Amino acid sequence: MTALAAMLTTACQVEPPPLPSSWAQTSSRLRLPGELANRDQLRAEIDRAQKKWMKERPVQYELTVVRGYDNPGTFVSLVRGMNVLRSRGGYSPNGRDRAPSLRSVEGLFYEAQKATMFPANEVEITFDERFGYPNRVRIDPRKGNGDHEGTLIASIKVVWP
């Protein structure tokens, strides 16, 4: 019984899935508690990163997104410009698409901006240094309630510069 309790306690402390070593990237990190002034600063950082993405983005890329907490699976999409050419993953057992916004970098920016709109204990967004896209978005809605923390981890592979 004690072993079962320990196992359940460990399972409730959800950590985001680790990034494969092939995804290692340099990035800048902005970690802010949920105060209004900090949210304005975070929104400004997202805008700056989005401008960098629009300038530096590759013509075609493969986007991989892993979503923690209620993970419906890894999303892998091939994107040209702003069009998703093909995508797999992220479907519930009934075949319903769980998070179409995670299929392009523009969708990742939408998720990052959405994270700044609602009260949260902490929002942490990490941006890729080369292209500026959000490669990690972590939202902790309530202090001390780790089982509801949501994390998105993203990586792109340039297919066509």
144 confidence band (pLDDT: 50, 70, 90): low
SS3 96: coil
Strand partners, 160: 60
Q: What is the mean pLDDT of residues 75-97?
A: 82
Name which of 48-52, 66-70, 75-79, 154-158 the model is least confident about.
Answer: 66-70
Position 21, amino acid: S
Q: What is the mean pLDDT of residues 23-30?
A: 42
For residue 64, the model assigns a pLDDT of 94
The half-sphere exposure of 78 on its side-chain side, counting CA atoms within 13 A, is 4
| pLDDT surpasses 60 at 12 | no
Q: Which of 56, 54, 39 is nearest to 113 (CA)?
A: 39
160 confidence band (pLDDT: 50, 70, 90): confident
Q: Please give the torsion angle defined by the CA atoms of residues 58, 103, 81 and 18, in that order, rounded to the nearest 10 degrees.
A: 0
Residue extents of the structural domains in the chain: 28-160
